[in-house]
A and B are shown apart, each in its own frame.
With several copies, the nearest count.
Chain A
Amino acid sequence: MARVLLFGRLADLAGWRDRAVEAGSLNGLRGVLAGVDPALGEALAGPGVQVAVDKTIVRGEAPLAAGSEVAFLPPMSGG
């Protein structure tokens, strides 16, 4: 199980911001999320959305260990 965190407009779109999801890789996780909520799946793949695994930005595919924290980060606005 990975812990998935959504921020900003992604959380508003999904209607949740913190959920446990069964997935062994980032692409697998994207597939699960898109299967449940296609609009969210599209938004997660949209321009400017970055992904952090265990608080480190990753690009492309990555394996997920049990207990990994995966955060989807829309474009940052600054404070």
Chain B
Amino acid sequence: MTTPSKIALTSEPFEPGALLTAFCAGRDETGAVASFAGLARAEKGAAVALELEAYPGFTDTAIAAFADDAKTRFGLQDYAIVHRVGRIAPGEAIVFVATAAVHRRAAFEACDFLMDYLKSRAPFWKKEHGPDGGRWIEPTAQDRTDAQRWD
């Protein structure tokens, strides 16, 4: 495929469906597109907003290095990663990952693999804002377990 694989960090809300439309366009040799959208949860009012901090030029470079390895590992034709930064309201998209491959097994596994990385090890700093203020959080045990599945 000639489409360049793409990583973007954005402080503006984005629409996963629009990104999927762009990613699927003109793919007459692809076969399989897996995608994932992570959305901010309201937690029944316990979460007022999520705040994500990235280090531009460091975060995107780290993600690109990881994703390009994944592209080779899973034999992807292409991928797209868009990650929100800044303050994110419940229901808004935090992250979108799409992977394109000839067959679905590779597309699914690569998408899952990229998400495990993004959720547990990618260079972001995350603050949860609740009704009583904000707190910085660290990866959950589940995140670490998920990421270790691939080691």
Contacts and interface: CB of A to CB of B under 8 A. Distances in A.
B58 A76 contact: no
Given A12-B136, A55-B61, A78 B55 contact: no
Interface stretch (B11-19, B70-78, B137-145): B137-145
Interface stretch (A1-9, A22-30, A33-41): A1-9
Interface residues on A, range: 10 to 19
B119 A79 contact: yes
A5 to B, nearest CB: 7
Interface stretch (B26-34, B41-49, B105-113, B120-128): B120-128
A44 interface: no
Contact of A76 (B57, B83, B122): B122
Contacts of B84: 79
A78 B122 contact: yes
Contacts of B52: 79
B118 interface: yes
Interface of B: 38, 52-53, 55, 57-58, 61, 83-84, 94-95, 117-127, 136-139, 143
Kindly list the 4 A-B residue pairs having the minimum CB-CB distance in the complex, ordered from nearest: A8-B125, A77-B126, A79-B124, A9-B136
